[in-house]
Amino acid sequence: MDSPISLKKEWTLTKEAFDLFLARLDPNQDRAAEKYEVIRLKLLKYFQWGRVMAAEEAVDETINRVARKIQEGENVYNLNAYIYGVARLVTSEWIKKQNRIEQISEDDNEIQAPVLEEEDLDVAERRTCFEKCLGHLTDQSRVIILEYYRYEKKEKIEHRKELAATQGVTLNALRISAYRTRTSLEACVRECLGKCA
């Protein structure tokens, strides 16, 4: 669930911040959800065209930053322009990070870094915390979150359509539900890891 490239200081999107963001899109919840879906799709295309490898994560990062600014009381007069301004910054940051990673990969060439026992412990702790936090979810939320992130590319799109149909919700409602579940799951894992440290 972790983004392959972390950017800014850790901030978790809360339900309140997300709700404020949706309210800024439209006071009517249904219209806000539709507008949110349109923005996500446009941002996804924007990042794909901008050569960002992890386009979905970049979309989430952009929306998180905008939601955070709104929650912090930032005066956003033209929300669409603001979103794309943030998206341009995110693209620039991700391209720089990708270039650095590619450079490191080229420099290392075929040299494999030894796996440290400490890293194994970190992975084991993360997995334990993830499993524990999954156990706190309702059965429906657990199924949705595990199935939502199950596939890649074209398979993912088709699978999400099927998942929405089996859950009896729109694709848009499924996306919002998965996003909220993911943010609470990430917060739970972070809190669990903090207790392990």
pLDDT for 148-182, tens place per residue?
A: 877 777 787 888 888 888 888 887 778 888 888 88
CA distance 112 to 4: 19
Cβ neighbors of 106 (< 8 A, separation 6 or more) are none
CATH number belonging to the domain at 117-196, selected among 1.10.10, 3.30.1330, 3.90.320, 1.10.3470: 1.10.10
CA distance 31 to 185: 27
Cβ neighbors of 56 (< 8 A, separation 6 or more) are 44
pLDDT score of 139: 78
Residue 21 · residue 70 · CB < 8 Å: yes
pLDDT tens, position by position, 71-84: 988 888 888 888 88
Residue stretches of the chain with pLDDT short of 70: 1-10, 98-122, 196-197
CA distance 169 to 180: 15
CA distance 157 to 152: 8
